[in-house]
Amino acid sequence: MSSNDTFDALSRAMARRASRRTAIKGGAALASAGVISGAALSSSSGVAAQDGANITFWFDTTGGAETAQCLIDNIVNPFNAQGGTQVEATMQPNGWTATQTALAGGAGPDIVVTPGPTYVMELAKAGQLLNLDEAAAAHGWDQTVLPWALDLGRVDGSIYSIPHEVESLVLWYNATLFDEHGWEVPNTMDELITLSQAVQDAGLIPFAHGNQEWRPANEWFVGEWLNQLAGPDLVYAALTGEAQWTDPAFVDAISKLNDMQQNGWFYGGLDRYYTGASADTASSLAYGDSAMKIEGTWFFSDAMMFFEESGQEWGWAPFPSTDGTDIFDLGIGSTYSINARTAAPEASAEFLNYWFSPEAQGIAVSVCGMGPAPVSIPEELLEGIDARQAAMINAVADASAAGNYGYTTWTFFPPKTITFLIENIERVWAGDLSVEDFLAEMQSVFDPELAAGDVPPLPARS
């Protein structure tokens, strides 16, 4: 397919995106309205809240207001309709920056949303978040929220946040292309390397990757290679200070990542990788110019849209590990807390309890296309979603329950280490820094953060 065809298809797909989502919302919202207004609301009223309290909640609209509006229409408005506590929902571009600034100035919304546990630690240490231990006990969150996720919200042993949007990185592939060439979905890293060479030999691009719009995409690959090749046990040991990032297993993992990048397997070369936008790479995968893509579970809606446009089929698989064991690196898209200065702590807790109810989360997933919160969502609440997405949600949930999980960088690594690896892996790829020096420098950045207690709480390995 020519580049012009791809661009035209891309433009058409972008234009259709909104209408398709609207259609999904319309049907599913009607189907779920009864569920949310009945079960969720009754379950959320177990603890008395301040009568008629008003609380504020800022929805981040940086990536577009469509999802935020969907959540307001289908989750917040039914909550308000029951009377009692009223939630004043506000669309807020650059939501995190606005929240951070407002909190520093002694204001901010009652419900505080952050991009991850690292940010919660900073806010909690600064006394800007409410201790949620009492609320958790009153509402029984230890029974509804998965244990590893609840632990992730702890700072110095107390709960300050509840994680939202459980994510993982998986291998997406063009199933039509695989069928045409007779390729098998790889289970191990060796199989993946062999397949990548075969794809390149066929004149195609093995991976549709680019970081132009989101430079932190670099960390997806570093984290995935560390977890899947060196193993999550060793990553856990390094994050707890029991192992070093300079371990030979990590050196081997990053060396393999570097080899694949140098081979031009990531979108045809480094220069293409650095200038590849998300729509370019998604289109490349959907139209069969590229065979695979390593991206988060959030890619589902884009996969649906671009493959519908191309008329080809997509599939997903756990990212190949060294020995073929299915390991899902767990991540969190955002966290929810309560502002320490709120005038309505009980009403805020009541709303959080409602927000994290299986019913509300069922709506968030099936109607608004969000990643699920770490709560058990009954299958009947997920009816109507694509079977592949349902399988993905179940696989990640099963892995987290069984302990077959690794650690995404953006959730479990401290902030300076994250920034270091995002910035400096590019120096490795550019040949300015050896893999050994990269990991040694990473260790020197990580050590003070570990000593300062800046590593987010890690669920213990079973």
Binding footprint of other proteins on the chain (CB under 8 A): 3-4, 6-7, 97, 100, 103-104, 122-123, 125-128, 211-212, 215, 270-275, 280, 415-416, 418-419, 423, 426-427, 429-430, 432
Residue 128, Cα to own-chain centre: how many angstroms? 25
In the complex, least distance from residue 157 CB atom to other proteins, rounded to whole angstroms = 19
Residues paired with residue 293 on neighbouring β-strands, in sequence order: 172
Question: For other proteins, which is the closer residue by CB, 309 or 449?
Answer: 449
Question: For other proteins, which is the closer residue by CB, 80 or 419?
Answer: 419
Q: Hey, what are 323's tokens?
A: 């020995």
Tell me which amino acid residue 372 is. P
Question: For other proteins, which is the closer residue by CB, 33 or 270?
Answer: 270
In the complex, least distance from residue 440 CB atom to other proteins, rounded to whole angstroms = 14
Question: For other proteins, which is the closer residue by CB, 42 or 97?
Answer: 97
Question: For other proteins, which is the closer residue by CB, 29 or 270?
Answer: 270
> Quick one: DSSP state of residue 242?
S
Report how far residue 361's alpha carbon sits from residue 367's, in angstroms, rounded to the nearest whole number. Answer: 10
Question: For other proteins, which is the closer residue by CB, 231 or 331?
Answer: 331
In the complex, least distance from residue 112 CB atom to other proteins, rounded to whole angstroms = 12
Report how far residue 433's alpha carbon sits from residue 115's, in angstroms, rounded to the nearest whole number. Answer: 30
In the complex, least distance from residue 427 CB atom to other proteins, rounded to whole angstroms = 5
Give CA separation, 443 vs 110, 216, 219, 249, in Å.
38, 19, 16, 14
Alpha helices in 379-414 (DSSP H): 387-402, 409-412
Report how far residue 261's alpha carbon sits from residue 64's, in angstroms, rounded to the nearest whole number. Answer: 32
Question: For other proteins, which is the closer residue by CB, 280 or 359?
Answer: 280
Helix 300-310 to helix 387-402 angle (10° resolution) is 150
In the complex, least distance from residue 378 CB atom to other proteins, rounded to whole angstroms = 39
Phi, psi of 55 (to 5 degrees): -125, 155
In the complex, least distance from residue 267 CB atom to other proteins, rounded to whole angstroms = 10
The three-state secondary structure class of 193 is helix
Contact 369, 161 (CB under 8 A): no
In the complex, least distance from residue 442 CB atom to other proteins, rounded to whole angstroms = 14
Residues paired with residue 398 on neighbouring β-strands, in sequence order: none
The three-state secondary structure class of 153 is coil
In the complex, least distance from residue 211 CB atom to other proteins, rounded to whole angstroms = 8
Question: For other proteins, which is the closer residue by CB, 211 or 389?
Answer: 211
